[in-house]
Amino acid sequence: MKKNTNKISCKHILSAIVLIACIPIVSATPPIPESYWGYATLNGVPAPDGTFITVEVYGSGEVVGNTTVKYPNGGYSLDIIFNDTDTAEDEGADGEDALTWKINEINCSIPAPGTDTAISGGTNGNFNLTATIPDTTAPIISNVTKTELTNDSVTISWDTDENSNSVVKYGTTPGIYLNGQFDTSLITLHNISLTELNATTTYYYVVNSTDASGNTGESSEYNFTTTATSDITPPVISNVENTDPTTDSVTISWITNEDSDSVVRYGTTPGNYTNEESNTTLVTLHNIPFSQLSADTTYYYVVNSTDASGNAGQCSEYSFTTATIADNATVVLIGNAIATPNGYASTSIMVNNVTGLGSGNITVTYNPSVVHVTNVTSGDGNALPVQDWNVDNTTGSVRIFVQDADKSHNGDVVFAIVNFHTVGEYPDSTALAISSSELINYTSYGVIGHSVTNGTFSIIDIRPLVITDAIATPDVILNDNGRPRIPGTNVTVLNATVLNGGSGVVNVTINLSSIGGPDDQIMERIAGTDVWTVATTATGGINLTHELVVTATDGADNTNTSVIGLTILLRGDVVRDGDLNSADALYIAKHLVGKEPRPSLIVGDMSPAEGDDRVTSADALYLAKYLVGKEAAP
């Protein structure tokens, strides 16, 4: 039995050897990785050292390779592993798997996900990667302001720290924004105008800006209140009246339907209001007193009122006439004065028709940009001594005190002499206005009633115009009788340079009467120069040299004159006796045979009419035929 057992065992061993020999042998070589190297760019710049680079199977997210940036300029290298089919485990990519590349877990845009394919054993040099960190930060809003607020519109402005659009949401209830305006332009300085708003209404609003990545920032709530509806209606003026005028004063009154200021414009010519009195207080009952008027004078005036919104109303023209000064009434008057620029002048302050004058004080006002007071002195004869005077040339006033303790003065009394120095220029002028005056009676110490008459200080210009270079070109011409002439021989241009003396050149004329023209021929100014000119011919004054008088006038009616010399010749009058006769024909004939010098071409060259620059037998023949009535005067 053991032996038999041993035989069975050997049989089994042989069977096993045969079975093993029949099993095929399989290779265990793993797949070859795919190699990559290149440069990684993150947000437009080379990725820094240590930046993670990952490769996943597109769609599944299985990581099949990873590395970090470890070379300059974002350089990297990476191998993709593949599945070994001899194992049951999933160890890497399968051949031709689509891949997704990532930098710091951000999908690359280059290559785009799914566009690269895994290939075992492949080598990919300069395989560059690009990824961008997505923008998830909303714009920061600052400096929210409102401007240009009116009754129906406003402009809302704000800033953002990045380019973004512009939205304003608004409404009349806090937190509820039923309206909106927007601008899609991506900017950092935002302006949105809201229009068609209601007047005197409070609006609540927020501003909103969204960047290119869709991130939106919004402000907190603000508000504004529109203004009242604009007033465009001027005040209505009524009940315009004036009090009974005195010799030098009057009060004008009127009513308006709303609060407004008060202005009276007046003058002594209808429609020409050279003076003005005003009060800026806004009222409905208006009263404007004014004085320093002239006695027995008609004044024309209009009243004007402007409300708080700037609307002005003006009445039609009215007038009044100041009272006449009685023949025996006392009058304080200041005389007129004139002076040249930087000149000096004086005038008297008089008290006329007065009885018992012992003292007085008077204040005179003037425009200090026109004239300054330099001195005040006592007058001669029937005059009160000046005790003191005080001048203020900044505001334009001088106060004068006079007194005579020894005696009273009657009749026409010299109150004082005021001396002036001009500081303005022609044609400046200023009123010399007696703004206050008090006269005291020598015996009773009482105030003497009186009226006032104001004067005027005027700056005049007496500087003459200067005329130079008064010439005629040419200064010798032929008479003009209608027959053609050698070109340029019967026309002259008269020029004169006129220099402004200070008041401007108004006109320049020349007297042409001696050569058959007008006695006040107007000369024209050559643009851009000081030269005045006129062209002329001559029909008279033959064989004479004329002094033509040029007259220049300025804005102050100052004139100056100069003369232009001009000689007029008679064509054909070669012997220069003022007549055309046989003597002229004989002279030309003798010239033609060499017995006389050639006459002046300007008079001797008669044929053809336009001349041929010589004296020939044709000229002698023309003159001979004229002398027998066969030709017109040459």
Decide which of 79 and 121 is more confident: 79
Please state, in angstroms and rounded to a whole number, the distance separating the CA atoms of residues 266 and 273: 4
Domain 331-459 = CATH 2.60.40.680: yes
pLDDT score for 90: 62
d(CA 591, CA 606): 15
- Quick check: 459 pLDDT over 90? no
> What mean pLDDT do residues 122-134 have?
90
Q: The pTM is what?
A: 0.43
**Domain range 237-321, CATH class:** mainly beta
Token pair in block for residue 117: 């394919």
Range with the lowest mean pLDDT among 11-25, 136-150, 324-338? 11-25
Helices (H) and strands (E) in the chain, counts: 4, 41
Q: Name the architecture of domain 34-131.
A: Sandwich (2.60)
Mean pLDDT of all residues in 491-519: 91
Q: State which amino acid sits at residue 42.
A: L
Kindly report the length of the chain. Answer: 634
596 with 605: CB under 8 angstroms?
no
Residue 301 has pLDDT above 50, yes or no: yes
Which CATH architecture group holds 141-225?
Sandwich (2.60)
Q: Is residue 558 very low, low, confident or very high in pLDDT (cuts 50, 70, 90)?
A: confident
pLDDT-derived band at 83, boundaries 50, 70, 90: confident
Q: At residue 581, does pLDDT exceed 50?
A: yes
**pLDDT at 2 exceeding the cut of 50:** no
- What was the pLDDT predicted at 327? 64
In this predicted structure, what is the pLDDT of residue 453?
87
Please state the rounded mean pLDDT for residues 356-378. 96
pLDDT at 463: 77
In tens, the pLDDT along 203-215 reads 999 999 999 999 9
- Residue with the bigger pLDDT between 207 and 436: it is 207
Question: From CA 110, how far away is CA 131, in angstroms rounded?
Answer: 7
How high is the pLDDT of residue 13? Answer: 34
pLDDT in tens, 507-534: 999 999 999 999 999 999 999 999 999 9
Share of the chain above pLDDT 70, in %: 93
Please count the other Cβ atoms lying within 10 Å of the Cβ belonging to residue 101: 27
For the chain, the average pLDDT equals 89
Q: Residue 33 pLDDT > 70, yes or no?
A: yes
Q: Give the pLDDT band of residue 8 (cuts 50, 70, 90).
A: very low
- Per-residue pLDDT at 618 exceeds 60: yes
Q: CB under 8 Å to 44, separation ≥6 — which residues?
A: 132
Least confident of 94-98, 193-197, 349-353: 94-98
Percent of the chain with pLDDT over 90: 70
Distance from C-alpha of 337 to C-alpha of 344, rounded to nearest angstrom: 10
Helix axes 582-592, 617-627, angle to 10 degrees: 160
The yes-or-no verdict on residue 260 having pLDDT over 80 is yes
Q: Is the pLDDT of residue 26 over 60?
A: no
Q: Please compute the mean of the pLDDT values over residues 226-255 and round it to a whole number.
A: 90
**Res. 280 pLDDT band, cuts 50 70 90:** very high
**pLDDT for res 94:** 82
CB-based contact 318:302 (threshold 8 Å): yes
Average pLDDT over residues 155-163: 96
Lowest mean pLDDT among 26-40, 373-387, 479-493: 26-40
Residues 364-368 have a mean pLDDT of 95
Q: Fold match between 237-321 and 466-569? A: yes
Q: Is the model's pLDDT at 87 over the cut of 90?
A: no
**For the ranges 55-64, 88-97, 183-192, the one whose mean pLDDT is highest:** 183-192
CA distance 526 to 212: 67
**Minimum mean pLDDT among 137-146, 157-166, 251-260, 426-435: which range?**
426-435
Place of tokens 């206050």: 436
H or E element that contains 585: helix 582-592
Q: What is the pLDDT of residue 19?
A: 38
**pLDDT (mean) for 300-327:** 90
pLDDT at 85: 65
Q: For position 555, what pLDDT does the model report?
A: 81
pLDDT for the residue numbered 270: 94
pLDDT score at 354: 93
**pLDDT over threshold 60, residue 78:** yes
Phi, psi at 341, each rounded to 5°? -55, 135
Residue extents of the structural domains in the chain = 34-131, 141-225, 237-321, 331-459, 466-569, 582-627
User: Does CATH number 3.40.50.1100 belong to domain 466-569?
Assistant: no
